[in-house]
Chains A and B, each alone.
Chain A
């Protein structure tokens, strides 16, 4: 009897969570509907954001979001792979365990702390070393965002390393591989899909981050064409415009920004699902 109740409860919780996401999606669509006429849509999906002159294009922000997230993932990939290898066998047990705890702890650091510290330490550093601009630019935001998503990537990759069947590792040892060779030729290739999944989810986290982009990237609403450009992401756009006059088109464009972000995340989830599916199929 108790099991039936628990079962029902779990089903309700599951349905509730799923419907919450669906409701958010519907909410964004509903509030973006008034913007559906072609003239307005053309305005919003353009590259120029200049409310004073009636231009509400958020595409420059979309571009910045993607460029920032992709760069952060590309930077985090080699570092994340390296750390995962260390944690999964290349480092002495004790150090690996400490490392694992430290990385896990990093997931609980609020992003605003990263942003706040970087404003005072990283931004002046970038400004002085390169002498190009104010220091508030893509180049300041990318490394900090990489650090933010590193724990996610490392923990996911470490997990897939741990799940490599023992037989693989034992065969490699028997063939005389050194531990490093074992990683390069056996473990990493067999975790191809797990690594891809880690990168996809890392990208998702990076694209959705607001504080780091808001505090470090400069927020100029322009198309990024250099790492020293001040850029604005979709998330920062929402944060900055949220306080404007609710009747203005500028405010209404926030819903479209949110919708685009949501759709990006949808693709991230679908990508992750496909990759994991392929992995499970391969393992059978």
Chain B
């Protein structure tokens, strides 16, 4: 029995030391307390959740709430003082920045990719084809070398930063057909496209998984590498915005997201960290 005491003792010390080492970036939260309310872009949520979980486990006096709603909601809520951090998947407009006195903290690069159902045989499109599909001039998959089936269009709601970027950089501000189905989040878009064999939609690259296909557009595959090296051009930064200077707890949270540990979370979700 006594034989095991020392090794167990060593193991316990080792574990607590690794916890302490890991707590390096979390140290800034030592002794703090309060609540951080976050709302806005749905693309940011997975990273925010990872960070929040770590922080709340480390310091039980800190409470962090995270809500969605879209980039428009994020900017509005933080501007009106309803939340501490408003996430947006698009840069706030100059009018928004001046009206609310926003401070911008971009912390990742994310691309927006065209997605299709796994059963769809089409695996590449030209930018013009995407524009025509969304404008409604191309109505059938056979016009782009697919099956003879009507194309079911899916787009996002008005508040979506994902939509704003897709519209500006992929569709080049072209029309979106009034027949398109409107869904309210990246998650809802993924579910809709994954379940509808004739669907076409768009989601943040960080949200892409095995349930959907993301074809190459104009010869460039929508991966984070291509977003980083500039080959894939439909990209946007993920912003966290505050109204004026953030209070110390909020500043600590933002610093944490931009720290090496935060970068791990960002990479884990397939976004690209930026300073």
Contacts and interface: CB of A to CB of B under 8 A. Distances in A.
Bound together: yes
B81 to A, nearest CB: 14
Interface in A14-49: 48-49
Interface in B47-83: 69-70, 72-73, 76
Interface residues of A, number: 34
A49 B175 CA distance: 12
B122 to A, nearest CB: 17
A243 B196 contact: no
A205 interface: no
B181 A220 contact: yes
Given A133-B150, A134-B152, A243-B70, A232 B182 contact: yes
A136 B192 CA distance: 10
B98 interface: no
Contacts of B198: 134
Kindly state the interface size class of chain B when it binds its partner: 20 to 34
A133 B181 CA distance: 10
B76 A218 contact: no
Q: Chain A: interface secondary structure?
A: loop
Contacts of A52: 173, 175-176
B272 to A, nearest CB: 27
Contact of B72 (A51, A219, A245): A245
A61 to B, nearest CB: 12
B158 A218 contact: no
Contact of A243 (B69, B175, B178, B182): B69
A221 interface: yes
Contacts of B179: 220, 222, 229-230
Nearest to B150: A133
A214 B96 CA distance: 28
A243 B181 contact: no
A135 interface: yes
B71 to A, nearest CB: 9
Nearest to B191: A119
A170 interface: no
B16 interface: no
CB-based closest 5 A-B pairs: A243-B159, A219-B182, A134-B152, A243-B73, A218-B181
Interface of A: 48-52, 119-120, 123-124, 127, 132-136, 214, 218-222, 229-230, 232, 239-247, 250
Given A49-B178, A232-B182, A244-B158, 13 more contacts: A119-B191, A124-B195, A134-B152, A219-B183, A222-B179, A230-B181, A240-B158, A241-B158, A243-B69, A244-B72, A244-B159, A245-B93, A247-B95
